Amino acid sequence: MPAKILDGTSVAKAIKEEVAAEVAEYSIRGLRPGLAAVLVGNDPASQIYVSSKVKTCGQLGLHSEKIELPDTVTTEELVSLVTVLNSRDEIDGILIQLPLPRHVDTNMVLNSVDPAKDVDGFLRENVGRLTLGEPGLRPCTPAGIIELLDRYGIPIKGVRAVVIGRSRIVGLPISLLLLHRHATVTICHSRTVDLPAVAREADILVVAMGRKTMVGADYIKPGAVVIDVGQHRVTEAAEVEALYGDDPKRWAAFEKNGSTLVGDVNPKDAMEIAGYFTPVPGGVGPLAIAMLMKNTLVAMEMRRGSIT
């Protein structure tokens, strides 16, 4: 029996609808969450990401501002801008779109953001709060994974979870979130001895290594929940056939765009062995923007205390 698909698109839609409803209620009282997105340079991918986030703010009723700067901007100028945004009460979240130009001190810029407005959840203060299990803003993709598991009724308490990847963006925070939900968590990485054997122990396997189709059949426990965080472009027809067979949707995407997407997990193997699987695209990816919207709302509530 093939794995059941965990549909991140539908879960993201539900989260957005819930955020929009709360924003509408607050707007009656003159409150409106606000997000400032800072974009430096003309990187096409960054332009798309930021435009999508700003568009979603508009759809859900949040206030948003896109601040575009040339790639000649200095570290000092960016820090000065962030300081101004920190002081503006109508701005609840500050998003610095990465990567920044090489001459900019990225850490200095990011660390100048007020932790109360760190809607990415990356700053050391919020990482510390996550580590200690204290209230705070959580990284969007890991928080979205927890939402996905919860909304599909997949138990976390007491299960064995293995996370492949230890980045501060996904691997480390999802490990902590699972741990705080009483899973027994193992964090793996490129130097883990006999990685497939460790992965096969997982009831919940989260893969965030950034290596195309690295995880195959020998990594997956029968019936496991497999969460694929990776995203890679496939441009060769032979590879599409090997990964997806005659799947009409994949071939339609390939013929239209000259490529299709795949994750860190071999989808054919996962569909044959796992109990649940997140597809790429349509799995974890759509949750990031939905959780960014939710974080902006939560940031407003936390900054203003317990809004009643």
pLDDT band at 307 (very low <50, low <70, confident <90, very high): low
What is the reported pTM? 0.95
Under 8 Å between Cβ of 276 and 226: yes
DSSP the chain: -PPEE--HHHHHHHHHHHHHHHHHHHHHTT---EEEEEEES--HHHHHHHHHHHHHHHHHT-EEEEEEE-TT--HHHHHHHHHHHHH-TT--EEEEPSPPPTTS-HHHHHHTS-GGG-TT--SHHHHHHHHHT-S-PPPHHHHHHHHHHHHTT---TT-EEEEE---TTTHHHHHHHHHHTT-EEEEE-TT-TTHHHHHTT-SEEEE-S--TT-B-GGG--TT-EEEE---EEE--HHHHHHHHTT-HHHHHHHHHHS-EEE-SB-HHHHHHH-SEE--TTTSSTTHHHHHHHHHHHHHHHHHT-S--
Mean pLDDT, residues 277-294 taken together: 97
Q: Name the architecture of domain 28-114.
A: 3-Layer(aba) Sandwich (3.40)
Domains 28-114 and 140-287 share a fold: yes
Looking at residue 239, its pLDDT comes to 93
Catalogue the active-site residues. Answer: 53, 97, 120
pLDDT above 60 (res 308): no
Domain limits, the chain: 28-114, 140-287
User: pLDDT of 48-71, one tens digit each?
Assistant: 999 999 999 999 999 999 999 999
Cα end-to-end distance, the chain, whole Å? 48
Under 8 Å between Cβ of 283 and 6: yes
State how far Cα 161 lies from the chain centre.
18
Share of the chain above pLDDT 90, in %: 92
Average pLDDT for the chain? 95
69 strand-pairing partners: 40
Looking at residue 26, its pLDDT comes to 96
187 strand-pairing partners: 163
User: pLDDT of 121-161, one tens digit each?
Assistant: 999 999 999 999 999 999 999 999 999 999 999 999 999 99
User: pLDDT of 190-208, one tens digit each?
Assistant: 999 999 999 999 999 999 9
In CATH terms, is domain 140-287 a member of 3.30.1360.10? no
Mean pLDDT, residues 101-119 taken together: 96
pLDDT band at 43 (very low <50, low <70, confident <90, very high): confident
Under 8 Å between Cβ of 284 and 9: no
Looking at residue 1, its pLDDT comes to 84
- Pairing relation of β-strands 260-262 and 232-234? antiparallel
Of 213, 234, 216, nearest to 270 (Cα)? 216
pLDDT band at 249 (very low <50, low <70, confident <90, very high): confident
Under 8 Å between Cβ of 62 and 289: no
The verdict on whether omega for the bond into residue 115 sits within 30 degrees of 0, i.e. cis, is no
pLDDT band at 45 (very low <50, low <70, confident <90, very high): confident
Mean pLDDT, residues 275-281 taken together: 97
Under 8 Å between Cβ of 121 and 173: yes
Of 306, 294, 302, nearest to 62 (Cα)? 294
User: pLDDT of 154-183, one tens digit each?
Assistant: 999 999 999 999 999 999 999 999 999 999
- Tell me the residue length of the chain: 308
